[in-house]
Amino acid sequence: MIDGLRHLHMLMAGLSILGFLLRGFWAWRVPGLLQRKPVKILPHVIDTLLLASAIALLFAYGWNPFAQGWLVAKIVLLIVYIGLGLVALKPWYGATVRLPAFFAAVVVFAWIFSIATSKLVVPFA
């Protein structure tokens, strides 16, 4: 069961970043695609499954997320990633704000991935 949850979590994380990259591309090249119903709904479904699988893994392993420094770092960075993603994809922010926010969100996601694979807060250690 734990392996299945872990694989679901990793799959949803991969789909989440791929979807973000695709929506970021569309925001610059074909902004009209961002208004389609599936494009608006699917990221929420993926991110909900990502979060639900993370919570299920916490229970399955019996971890207290605040007793594990690397988990606390992932949670904080997830909040930062969400905030940067919102700024990057919302049209009312100018390009001078959106583009750096987009790249910063990708870097933060890479940092989260690094923590997930190494269990170390220092990026890419």
pLDDT of 27 above 70: yes
CB atoms within 10 A of CB 38: 9
SS (H, E, C) 59-82: HHHCCCCCCCHHHHHHHHHHHHHH
Q: What pTM was computed for the model?
A: 0.89
DSSP 8-state assignment for residue 91: T
The amino acid at residue 40 is K
| Least confident piece of the model among 13-17, 35-39, 56-60, 109-113 | 56-60
Give the tens place of pLDDT for each residue, 75-111. Answer: 888 899 999 999 999 888 888 999 999 999 999 999 9
